[in-house]
């Protein structure tokens, strides 16, 4: 029996970037959905995996969405994600994710190739946003990372929306 794929394995062409009003609407729906689904769910893996899926499927310009968890002092390890295989570990201070973790602030990168020390887990990625994730006590437990194959896909609307999601995840 022939098990060859019938479609090309290349990822689909990325969507266009919505305007600010359309993005606000995407995030309004995304946050409402995440809040509704996660309400009453205490399991951290379930919460993160669900949030990642909600974000990845809500943003048509996202090519990779995931969480890198703090596993040791100054080390991030990949957690739940959607998209192609990712880097498994990232040191604090390395790349966009490591910088977001070390500085404890959101990184919006319009051109990942211009970011000092960028780690090319997905060679087709062109832009990225990374949001630190704190627990209810304010301790960093990971970062939410969203990549796009489009340049300058992320802006202040994405920052605001993903930081609001981080607040929902903090509990």
Domains of the chain: 20-170 (3.30.450.40)
Beta bridge partners of 146: 65, 129
Return the DSSP state at 144: E
> Which parts of the chain are beta strand (E)?
64-72, 75-82, 89-91, 107-109, 127-134, 140-148
- For residue 69 the two structure tokens come to 């968890």
User: Exposed, middle or buried: residue 157 (CB in 10 Å: 0-12, 13-18, 19+)?
Assistant: middle
The model's confidence at residue 1, banded by pLDDT at 50, 70 and 90, is very low
Span 109-125, average pLDDT: 92
5 pLDDT band (50/70/90 cuts)?
Answer: very low
Residue 14: the pLDDT is: 53
Q: Does the pLDDT of residue 123 top 90, yes or no?
A: no
On whether the CB atoms of residues 144 and 166 are closer than 8 A, the answer is: yes
- Mean of pLDDT over the chain: 91
- pLDDT of 3 > 90? The answer is no
Its pTM surpasses 0.85:
yes
């Amino acid at each position: 029996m022939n098990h060859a794929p019938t479609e090309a394995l290349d990822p689909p062409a990325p969507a266009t970037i919505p305007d600010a009003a359309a993005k606000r609407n995407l995030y309004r729906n995304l946050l409402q959905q995440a809040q509704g689904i996660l309400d009453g769910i205490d399991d951290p893996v379930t919460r993160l995996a669900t949030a990642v899926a909600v974000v990845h499927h809500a943003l048509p310009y996202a090519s990779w969405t995931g969480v890198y968890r703090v596993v040791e002092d100054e080390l991030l390890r990949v957690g739940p994600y959607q998209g192609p295989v990712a880097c498994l570990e990232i040191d604090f201070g390395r790349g966009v994710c490591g910088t977001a973790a070390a500085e404890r602030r959101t990184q919006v990168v319009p051109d990942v190739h211009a970011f000092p020390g960028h780690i090319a887990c997905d060679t087709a990625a062109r832009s990225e946003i990374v949001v630190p994730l704190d627990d209810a006590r304010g301790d960093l437990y990971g970062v939410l990372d969203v990549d796009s194959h489009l340049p300058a896909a992320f802006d202040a609307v994405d920052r605001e929306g993903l930081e609001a999601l981080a607040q929902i995840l903090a509990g």
